[in-house]
């Protein structure tokens, strides 16, 4: 077994494979399919200060090698999470990372503050990049000053590992990564979904109730990989890479591009146990390439 | 109820009329317990335009042969590819998923199962289970024309079958809601089919104070309650058709037309 | 036959299907496969003031439902085009649109001015969005002031139909479309390729000599469709839509989203005659939906 | 030379050793004229990870049977899928593409065809044509070991075959460039195989002032000169391997190592 442990801020993960927010529920939904304790971490659903109903149905459309979603942060609010879900999670032996979303600066601060008090939650992933709600933080994520402001304020109240999740719907993701690094983010994670759209030619209607939605899956992998590579070269904090990862080879590509850990999202829908296969495959790859540790391949892309 | 990811083998693939086919899948080991109304998420590997799994109701379970039947209508690339499956092909399924139709209470004996189009699929297994439990369900099956009536002889094994076709080419002419059998009294109605049909039936049931369960077919990504894509509006807010359903009592639903 | 003619500025196309720049050579490469006279138009290869060798090999990588390219505007320069290629094209009965690229403002102006004198070329597509060369115009395409400036200057010397090709690698494509409309563009075309990257996990090297390249094909269609829809709602000039169009149904989706014409790119590589199938399929669709003209579906998306 | 898009039918699919297979494709109508060194762009429809066409040299043309042979090594998803083709399956090809090996001049009679790995593919058809034209070509075929030597008996029909394997399990031990046959005099060398092999051979040819043609295998998107993805550096600048090649005289190439 190669050494798969990896560090993001103060958080040490037993392996660098995390399931992505919004694609793995609270982990419990997957108990029949895999031992979630073997995962490096689980990013739970986007959590907001208040309960949200999300967007109307239809919320999903299939696209070439991917899908669009317009869930719109449906969740029962942070208090429900704390009182009802959190206690159930504490029996597991993996890192639960709460994905925090909001419409206003105050939402983010208040939600983060509440999560700060949960001893079993070592990190939050601050989602400043959800394209699916009018005020889903995407406005924060596409403007470097607003991104910096929300991170700065959350940093004041949140004292554990703070991962900031970046939007790919921008001209210059590097400048946003640098801005949030500058005000105290412990890590950045990327990419969130790309804003897309699908139409039913026969009915002449959009396939999503919200017209546009977030694109994910293998189709976005080349864009995600490029952004991870650009950001990893620009910032000193760890980069958590994601976007279309469906197998160990995909994950390796993100490590080579500079990711310290990776997240598996949409692929969970097709194969619920895929994350364990990724962990196993990464280990096999390291052994085959005579690497002792995952660190040997992080950022190891040979570009001459 | 434990969900399983597993490979099953195609034991039969029977072409039926009107672009439907019946796929029988089997394995050597006994199947897990499966309830009527549950569904599977099937992986299709050989079709570039198919990315997510495809959802199909369980049409019937042959426990002796460890066989799951899927009644499928060809509507797009995924179902077209499945229609070409050969005996011995292996298919990956996640199953059994979703809740199920609830069994009648002790005071409910006059049962009507109303199906339209390929929506008849889960009603066969439901009818079989009801018959097994000693009920005599009636089936009211609707289609545009005679060609759209699938598996009739199979339904006849488990109860009386009434037919409505829009063009009158079989049974009574009109929609299922126009059928004269609805003048009889029923204690419980189960329905699955096109949304307008299910809405009309549930409206009828509500007017007549008949207990009514519908099986919804929302678009799914995960099928296991993780993605929140498949929601329907209920009086408790948005609920997932894949885990809170696919079967809902019409009293719970806030039908969006 | 439905009426398929469509207008872009002063240019009337016999049908709204154009082959995309860089994917159809000068049309001549495809003569064995289809009657190019049946095409609405042909956007020829990216043409620059001076000869360009392009990027080193490898220039191509396959990705899920798409490909990356890093051709880097290889071409023999505008004079070679005018003297050697142009005379050969004048025998055909389709609209040849020259895709003009450059590194500097002066390049663009001088190239456009030269093309302006060619009576058989009714339009140029000003490529301010090529991601594959260090100064490939992408800098112009991602900044609305620079975009406006180059269009304003080219407008002074180019008097026929001026289509400006936009980059999707931006936070706000609408503002760039509006900026170029404001200074006299007759139409915008979008999208050019998305900046992406691919890695060979085994050799640990990038798959392109330039590390990053331009992503095209069905994988980008949801993003392209969203951008076409956004831009078509914001500008009054025609929008030429492209990105992943592989069949008539895809094309219809772009028309519904607001495109006045569409371009077929990467799909030509897989099926050289695909554009004629698109034309035929669009016609069939219009007849099936009882539309007399392509205009009946442009922007006809029902969003309630 | 007119290029064609057409469907051909699999007439044979013969598994060979070392993950190779020989695919024979046919049609009722006569094939167009095909030259040695030309290639096809083959469409693979049933594999989601395969997007572009796949490029294969024409291994042999059986004019009597209207048959094109492709000698293929399984290296990834596309070739794996092809290896499972059944007789009667239809495959879409664009062909014949590229230039071709040039025929020897009147002063060139001692011909050596040097192939390595699956790069031997186009040399069989070249050998056949040369033999047909009255030449007696010699073949020098290299592989890592005996298992890598494919179609040996077919080459023997058209000329003498010399062998080099890296482990000595067949023929002489070492690389093809180490083989003793190279001590003989040759007027022209044709080569196709791994790039380092072709570079070594062309270096050898240059040193001995022997005319030498190589067939390159750059990654292609279109295969017809439209995308400019497949370039190689020549003394005239970047040229397309798909139209200016795949065969180049080594004098034209600016080999990039
Ligand atoms: C709970 C449930 C049970 C179902 N049971 C059956 C069944 O027993 N037999 C049967 O033939 N069909 C059933 N369906 C519908 C079946 O899932 C779709 O017909 C199938 O996914 C279409 O796949 P495709 O690739 O052939 O078509 P596509 O090309 O994907 O789509 C063709 C059409 O089918 C619709 N569709 C696509 N995906 C879905 C989806 N996930 N859910 C619903 N509609 C979709 C599209 O909107 C489109 O109109 C069920 C759906 C659900 C949600
Ligand atoms: C002119 C030419 C002639 C060829 N002739 C033959 C032949 O006769 N027999 C044969 O077996 N192979 C031949 N090849 C190579 C063949 O095209 C690739 O092996 C095939 O495309 C791999 O497809 P895949 O989906 O199985 O593998 P992939 O999963 O796509 O790739 C597996 C490996 O093959 C390489 N590869 C992928 N696509 C290409 C491509 N277009 N060109 C070159 N390498 C590629 C990849 O870099 C990777 O290392 C030829 C290539 C060219 C350009
Ligand atoms: C159905 C769905 C719901 C999602 N919900 C969230 C969310 O609540 N918060 C968030 O930050 N990202 C959310 N995402 C984005 C994913 O976490 C991930 O960033 C994205 O899907 C790219 O990775 P993938 O291609 O592996 O899926 C969601 C994605 C999907 C498909
Ligand atoms: C190989 C290749 C070369 C291209 N060259 C050019 C070019 O020279 N100029 C340009 O404006 N766009 C160029 N493009 C972009 C296409 O014209 C088109 O905008 C893009 O590929 C999206 O459409 P598609 O998905 O249909 O291919 C090129 C694309 C490819 C794949
Ligand atoms: S399909 Fe994912 S929650 Fe129902
Ligand atoms: S492969 Fe397109 S030019 Fe050669």
Overall average pLDDT of the C38-56 stretch: 95
pLDDT in tens, A218-256: 999 999 999 999 999 999 999 999 999 999 999 999 999
Pick C199's closest partner by Cβ from A169, A205, A256.
Answer: A256
Q: What is the pLDDT of residue D1?
A: 77
**A304 confidence band (pLDDT: 50, 70, 90):** confident
SS3 D156: helix
Can you spell out the DSSP letters for D169-209?
SSSEES-GGG-GGGGS--SEEEEES-HHHHHHHHHHHHHTT
Query: Beta-carbon neighbour count of residue B63 at 10 Å?
Result: 10
Burial (CB count <10 Å: 0-12, 13-18, 19+), residue D106: exposed
3-state SS track over D241-257: CCCCCCEEECCCECCCC
Q: Which residues of chain B have a CB within 8 Å of the CB of A22? A: 227-228
A contact test, residue of B231, B240, B255, B256 with most A CBs within 10 A: B231
Residues facing A61 on adjacent strands: A68
* DSSP code at position A293: B
- Mean pLDDT, to the nearest integer, of C1-27? 96
The three-point CA angle D88-D92-D94 to 5° equals: 140
Domain boundaries, chain A: 6-296
The CB of D240 under 6 Å from ligand 2? The reply is: no
The string of DSSP letters for C93-104 reads -SEEEEEE--SS
Residues 6+ apart with CB under 8 A from C205: A301, A302, A303, C199
Residue of A64, A223, A256 lying closest to C244 (CB–CB): A64
Q: What percent of chain A has pLDDT over 90?
A: 93
C226–A197 CB contact, under 8 Å: yes
pLDDT digits (tens, 9 = 90+) for C247-257: 999 999 999 99
Q: Which residue of C has its CA nearest to A203?
A: C302
d(CA B142, CA B174): 9
SS3 state of residue A282: helix
What span, in angstroms and rounded, lies between the C-alpha atoms of D3 and B48? 27
Ligand 5 within 6 A of B227 CB? yes
Please indicate if any CB of chain D lies within 8 Å of the CB of C241: no
Coil vs helix vs strand at A200: strand
Domain ranges (residues) in chain B = 4-97
* Ligand in closest contact with the CA of D231: 6
pLDDT of residue B205: 93
Residue C175 forms beta bridges with which residues? none
Q: Which residues contact B36 (CB under 8 A, 6 or more apart)?
A: B58, B100, B101, B122, B125, B126, B128, B129
Residue C104: CB atoms within 10 A of its CB come to 13
Beta bridge partners of D62: D67
Q: What CATH code is assigned to B4-97?
A: 2.40.30.10
pLDDT at A131: 64
d(CA A107, CA A50): 9
How many Å lie between the alpha carbon of C290 and the closest alpha carbon of chain D?
33
Cα–Cα distances (Å) from A241 to A16, A168, A302, C33, D70, in that order, read 10, 12, 18, 43, 41
C-alpha–C-alpha distance, residues A142 and C102, integer Å: 29
Using alpha carbons only, give the angle A156, A111, A87 rounded to the nearest 5 degrees: 115
The confidence score (pLDDT) of residue A130 equals 67
| Whole-structure pTM value | 0.96
Q: Could you give the CA distance from residue C180 to residue C175 in angstroms, rounded to a whole number?
A: 9
Distance of CA B118 to CAs A32, B13, B61, B124, B218, Å? Answer: 30, 16, 17, 11, 14
Q: Please answer yes or no on whether C71 and D5 come within 8 Å at the CB atom.
A: no
Query: What ipTM score was computed for the predicted complex, to two decimals?
Result: 0.96
Q: How far is D257 from chain C (nearest CA, A)?
A: 12
- Which residues on adjacent β-strands are paired with residue D165? D143, D173
Question: Using CA atoms, how far apart are residues A18 and C173, in angstroms rounded to an integer?
Answer: 33
Q: Which of B79, B94, B220, B230 to mutate to test the pocket of ligand 1 (most atoms within 8 A of CB)?
A: B79
b/e per residue C117-150 (b: at least 16 CB within 10 A)? ebeebbbbbbbbbbbbbeebbbebbbbbebbbbb
Cα diameter, chain D: 51
Report how far ligand 5's centroid is from the alpha carbon of B223 (Å): 4
For residue D230 and ligand 6, the question of a CB distance below 6 A is answered with yes
| Tokens describing residue C189 | 């075309």
Q: Is D75 on the interface with C (CB under 8 A)?
A: no
Cα of D42 to ligand 2 centre, how many Å? 11
Q: Is D229 in the pocket of ligand 6 (CB under 6 A)?
A: yes
> Closest-CA residue in chain A for B221?
A269
C130 catalytic? Reply is yes
C141: left (phi over 0), alpha (psi -120 to 50) or beta: alpha
Chains A, B: CB contacts within 8 A come to 91
* D228 ligand 6 Cβ < 6 A: yes
Structure tokens belonging to residue C154: 């080219």
Atom of ligand 2 nearest to the CA of D241: 1
In the reported structure, the alpha carbon of residue B250 is separated from the centroid of ligand 1 by a whole-number distance in angstroms of 22
Question: What are the C-alpha distances in Å from D49 to residues A64, A142, C188, C287?
Answer: 11, 32, 33, 35
Token code pair at residue D181: 């046959």
pLDDT tens digits, one per residue of C267-292: 999 999 999 999 999 999 999 999 99
In the beta sheet, which residues pair with residue A67?
A: A62, A216
Residue-by-residue pLDDT tens, chain D, 257 positions: 799 999 999 999 999 999 999 999 999 999 999 999 999 999 999 999 999 999 999 999 999 999 999 999 999 999 999 999 999 999 999 999 999 999 999 888 899 999 999 999 999 999 999 999 999 999 999 999 999 999 999 999 999 999 999 999 988 999 999 998 989 999 999 999 999 999 999 999 999 999 999 999 999 999 999 999 999 999 999 999 999 999 999 999 987 54
Instruction: Calculate how far, in angstroms, residue C264's C-alpha sits from the geometric centre of ligand 4.
Output: 9
The DSSP string of C69-138 is E-----B--HHHIIIIIHHHHTTS-SEEEEEE--SSHHHHHHHHHHHHT-TT--EEEEE--BTTSTTSBH
Q: List, for residues A16-37, the tens digit of each pLDDT value.
A: 999 999 999 999 999 999 999 9
d(CA A232, CA A224): 12
Chain C positions in Cβ-Cβ contact with residue D50 (cut-off 8 Å):
62
Which chains reach chain B with 3 or more Cβ–Cβ distances below 8 angstroms? A, D
Give tens-digit pLDDT for C198-244: 999 999 999 999 999 999 999 999 999 999 999 999 999 999 999 99
Give the Cα-Cα-Cα angle C92, C98, C186 (nearest 5 degrees): 110
Across all residues in chain B, what is the average pLDDT?
94
Mutate to test the pocket of ligand 2, among D48, D51, D54, D241 (most ligand atoms within 8 A of CB): D54
Q: Does C205 touch chain A (CB under 8 A)?
A: yes
Average pLDDT over residues B171-191: 92
Nearest chain A Cα distance for residue B73, angstroms = 19
Question: For residue C139, what pLDDT is reported?
Answer: 77
Cβ-proximal residues to C304 (8 Å cutoff; 6+ apart), any chain:
none
Structural class in CATH, domain C6-296: alpha beta
Count the neighbouring beta carbons within 10 Å of the beta carbon of residue C220. Answer: 34
Q: Cα(B127)–Cα(B138) distance, rounded to whole angstroms?
A: 8
Listed in sequence order, the residues at least 6 apart from C105 whose beta carbon sits closer than 8 Å to its beta carbon are C149, C150, C153
Residue of minimum CA distance from atom 32 in ligand 2: D76
Does the pLDDT at position A132 exceed 70? no
Segment (H or E) for C182: helix C173-182
Report the residue among D40, D242, D245, D247 best suited for mutation to probe ligand 6: largest number of ligand atoms under 8 A from its CB: D242
Cβ pair A199:C244 closer than 8 A: no
Return the residue in C129, C140, C197, C266 with the most chain A beta carbons within 10 A, the one to mutate for interface testing. C197
pLDDT recorded at residue B235? 92
Question: Which residues fall within 8 angstroms of residue D189, CB to CB, at 6 or more apart?
Answer: D111, D112, D113, D114, D201, D204, D205, D210, D211, D212, D213
Cβ neighbour number for residue C301 with a 10 Å cutoff:
20
Looking up tokens 């209607």 gives A205
The helix/strand/coil state of C232 is helix
Q: How far is the CA of C198 from the centre of ligand 3 (A)?
A: 21
* C195/A226 Cβ within 8 A: yes
Helices and strands in chain C, H and E counts: 10, 16
Residue C136 reports pLDDT greater than 60? no
Average pLDDT, chain A: 95
Contact criterion met (CB < 8 Å) for A270 and B224 = no
CA A50 to mean position of chain CA atoms: 21
Q: What is the per-residue pLDDT for D24?
A: 97
Better-scored residue on pLDDT, C144 or D257: C144
pLDDT over threshold 90, residue A2: yes
Residue nearest ligand 2's atom 11 by CA:
D72
- What's the pLDDT tens digit per position in C167-189? 999 999 999 999 999 999 999 99
Sheet holding B138-143, edge to edge: B172-173, B160-165, B138-143, B111-116, B188-192, B211-215, B247-249
Tell me which residue of A87, A85, A70 sits closest to A22, measured CA to CA.
A70
What's the angle, vertex CA D122, arms to CA D116 and CA D128, rounded to 5? 115
Alpha carbons C243 and C255: distance in angstroms, whole number: 13
Sheet holding C194-197, edge to edge: C60-63, C66-69, C212-216, C194-197
The bound ligand whose nearest atom lies closest to the alpha carbon of C18 is 4
B52 Cβ closer than 6 Å to some ligand 5 atom = no
Q: Whole-angstrom Cα distance, residue A148 to residue B31?
A: 55
User: Tokens in use for D250?
Assistant: 């080594």
Residue A193 has pLDDT above 60, yes or no: yes
pLDDT on residue B257: 45
């Amino acid at each position: 077994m190669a050494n798969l442990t990896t560090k993001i801020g103060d958080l040490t993960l037993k392996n660098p494979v995390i399931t992505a927010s919004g694609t793995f529920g609270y982990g419990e939904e997957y108990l029949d399919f895999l031992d979630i304790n073997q995962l490096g971490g689980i990013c739970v659903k986007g959590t907001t200060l208040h309960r949200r109903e999300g967007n109307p149905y239809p919320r999903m459309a299939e696209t070439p090698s991917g899908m669009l979603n317009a869930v719109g942060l449906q969740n029962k609010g942070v208090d429900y999470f704390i009182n009802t879900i959190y206690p159930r999670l504490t029996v597991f032996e993996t890192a639960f990372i709460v994905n925090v979303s909001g419409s206003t600066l105050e939402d983010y601060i208040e939600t983060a503050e509440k999560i700060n008090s949960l001893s079993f939650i070592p990190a939050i992933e601050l989602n400043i990049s959800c394209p699916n709600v009018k005020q889903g933080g995407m406005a924060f994520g596409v403007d470097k000053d607003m991104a910096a402001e929300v991170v700065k304020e959350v940093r004041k109240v949140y004292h554990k590992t703070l991962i900031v999740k970046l939007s790919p719907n921008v001209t210059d993701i590097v400048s946003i990564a640098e801005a949030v690094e500058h005000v105290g983010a412990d890590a950045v994670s990327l990419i969130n979904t790309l804003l897309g759209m699908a139409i039913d030619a026969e009915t002449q209607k959009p396939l999503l109730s919200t017209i546009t939605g977030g694109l994910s899956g293998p189709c976005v992998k080349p864009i995600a990989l490029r952004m991870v590579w650009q950001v990893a070269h620009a910032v000193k904090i760890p980069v958590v890479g994601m976007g279309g990862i469906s197998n160990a080879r995909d994950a390796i590509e993100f490590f080579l591009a500079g990711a310290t850990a990776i997240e598996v999202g949409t692929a969970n829908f097709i194969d619920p146990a895929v994350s364990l296969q990724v962990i196993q495959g990464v280990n096999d790859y390291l052994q085959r390439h005579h690497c002792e540790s995952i660190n040997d391949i992080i950022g190891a892309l040979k570009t001459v | 109820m434990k969900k399983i990811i597993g490979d099953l083998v195609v034991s039969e693939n029977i072409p039926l009329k009107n672009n439907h086919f019946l796929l029988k899948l089997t394995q050597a080991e006994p199947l897990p317990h499966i309830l009527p109304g549950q569904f599977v998420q099937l992986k299709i590997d050989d079709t570039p335009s198919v990315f997510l799994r495809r959802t199909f109701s369980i049409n019937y379970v042959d426990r002796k042969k460890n066989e799951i039947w899927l009644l499928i209508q060809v509507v797009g690339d995924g179902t077209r590819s499945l229609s070409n499956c050969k005996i011995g092909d292996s298919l990956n399924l996640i199953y059994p998923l979703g809740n199920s139709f609830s069994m009648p209470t002790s005071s409910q004996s006059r049962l009507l199962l109303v199906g339209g189009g390929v929506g008849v699929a889960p009603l066969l297994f439901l009818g079989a289970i009801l018959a097994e439990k000693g009920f005599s369900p009636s089936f009211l099956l609707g289609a545009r024309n005679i060609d759209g009536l699938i598996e009739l002889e199979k339904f006849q094994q488990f109860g009386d079958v009434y037919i409505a076709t829009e063009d009158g080419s079989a049974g009574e002419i009109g929609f299922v809601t126009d059928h004269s059998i609805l003048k009889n009294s029923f204690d419980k109605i189960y329905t699955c089919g096109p949304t307008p049909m299910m809405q009309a039936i549930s409206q009828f049931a509500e007017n007549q104070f008949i207990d009514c369960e519908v099986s919804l077919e929302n678009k799914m990504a995960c099928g296991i309650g993780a993605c929140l894509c498949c929601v329907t509006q209920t009086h408790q807010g948005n609920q997932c058709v894949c885990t809170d359903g696919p079967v809902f009592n019409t009293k719970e639903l806030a039908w969006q037309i």
